[in-house]
Amino acid sequence: MSQDTLVLGAVAYDAKVVPIWDGFLAYFARHGLAFDYVLYSNYERQVEAQLRGDFHVGWSSPLAWLEAERAAPRRGRTARAIAMRDTDQDLTSLIVARADGPVATIRDLRGRRLGVGATDSPQATLIPLEHVAAEGLQPGVDVEVVHHDVLVGKHGDHVGGERDAVRALLAGKVDAACLLDGNHLVFAREGVVPPGALRVIARTGAYDHCNMTVLDDAPAGSIARFTELLLAMSYDDPSVRSLLDLEGLKAWRPGRTTGYELLSRAIDRTGYLEPWLARVAA
C-alpha cells in the first residue's frame, strides 16, 4: 500500500456508496490530500483487512468499531475513533406494537414473538434485545425472537431487516418489532406504516453509530489532515452539500467512544463476538 495516498475502507451496503466515496475523493483532491478507497462486502472482512494493514481508515459500523477495538489489542495494537457524523450521536431504538393489539409494555411480550432486524444489526437487534433482557425478559426463552436476516455482514446499515420486521408486525406475524427511532419516521413517509397503526412500547437508552476508525500505525500527518478536512466540511457550502446529504449528515464531529456501552453490554451478555475474535487472533 502506498504511503503517499491515504486509503479508506468501507462496506458496500448500498449502491450509493460508490458516488459517496467518489465525491469524497474529489473533495480531498481539491484540498491537496491524496486519497482513495476500497470497498468490502461485509464488515468482518473490512476489519480483518484493516488489521492486516490493507488501508489506513475504516468507516466502521458500531459493531465493526467494537470488533476493531477488541481485536487490535490481541495483535498488540490499539484502535481509536477520529470522527463521526452529527447524526451518529445519541440515537435510540424503539420497540413498537400494533396500536390495536394487546401488547402495551415490554412485560406483555412474555410468551409472544418479537421481530428484529438482521442478526448483526446493532440498532434493530442487539441493542433492543439487550434492553428487553434488562427489563427482565430473556430473549429466546421468555420471548421468541424472529430475525429478518437481510444482508448479514452489513450490520443492518441497509435497514432492510428492520423494515421487514415492521411489515411482519403489521401482517400479524410477530407481536412487536424493533427499529431505529429515525426509521420509524422514514417508514411512515415511505407508506410502510399507515398513520396511527403502531404504538411505541419501549425506547432504548442513547447510543452512537458509525465512526472513522484508525489503528496506531496509521500515518499521523495524513490522518490529521483527513480529520481536519472532514471537520471543515460545511453544509452551507453548495459544493459539498449534496455529498453530505448522500452520507446523511449536516456536520462531522470529533470521534468519541462513550456511546458504545449499550452495544458492548449486548455482545458481552451473549458472547456474540467471541467466535470471530478467536479466529482473527489466531
Q: What is the pLDDT of residues 73-99, one digit of tens each?
A: 999 999 999 999 999 999 999 999 999
User: What are the Cα distances from residue 103, in Å, to 2, 111, 226?
Assistant: 57, 11, 49
Average the pLDDT over 170-185 and give the result: 96
Least confident of 11-15, 57-61, 168-172: 11-15
Q: What is the pLDDT of residues 265-277, one digit of tens each?
A: 999 999 999 999 9
Question: pTM of this prediction?
Answer: 0.94
Q: What is the DSSP string of 12-46?
A: --STTHHHHHHHHHHHHHHTT--EEEEEESSHHHH
Q: How far apart are CA 125 and CA 130, in angstroms?
A: 8
Q: What is the pLDDT of residues 23-69, one digit of tens each?
A: 999 999 999 999 999 999 999 999 999 999 999 999 999 999 999 99
Q: Which domains does the chain have, with CATH numbers?
A: 6-88+208-281 (3.40.190.10), 93-203 (3.40.190.10)
Average the pLDDT over 194-220 and give the result: 97
Under the banding of pLDDT at 50, 70 and 90, the label for residue 157 is confident
Under the banding of pLDDT at 50, 70 and 90, the label for residue 4 is confident
Q: What is the DSSP string of 230-246?
A: HHH--TT-HHHHHHHHH
Q: Quick one: pLDDT at residue 87?
A: 97
- Contact partners, residue 221, CB within 8 Å, separation at least 6: none
The answer to whether 149 touches 160, Cβ cutoff 8 Å, is no
Under the banding of pLDDT at 50, 70 and 90, the label for residue 281 is confident
* For the chain, percent of residues with pLDDT exceeding 90: 93
- Signed CA dihedral, 183, 189, 193, 198: sign only: positive
Q: How far apart are CA 247 and CA 188, in angstroms?
A: 21
User: Does the pLDDT of residue 1 top 60, yes or no?
Assistant: no
User: Does the pLDDT of residue 2 top 60, yes or no?
Assistant: no
Q: How far apart are CA 193 and CA 195, in angstroms?
A: 6
User: What is the spatial order of strands in the sheet that 113-115 belongs to?
Assistant: 144-146, 113-115, 176-180, 93-98, 198-203
Under the banding of pLDDT at 50, 70 and 90, the label for residue 168 is very high
User: Does the pLDDT of residue 282 top 90, yes or no?
Assistant: no
Identify which has the larger pLDDT, 14 or 127.
Answer: 127
- In degrees, rounded to 5, the angle at the alpha carbon of residue 42 between the alpha carbons of residues 157 and 69 is 85
- DSSP label at residue 205: P
Phi then psi for 245, rounded to 5 degrees?
A: -60, -45
Q: Return mean pLDDT, the chain.
A: 95
The answer to whether 206 touches 259, Cβ cutoff 8 Å, is yes
Q: Quick one: pLDDT at residue 3?
A: 63
Average the pLDDT over 12-18 and give the result: 92
What is the enclosing helix (H) or strand (E) of 155? none
Which of 80, 133, 132 lies closest to 260 in space, CA to CA? Answer: 80
Q: Quick one: pLDDT at residue 272?
A: 93
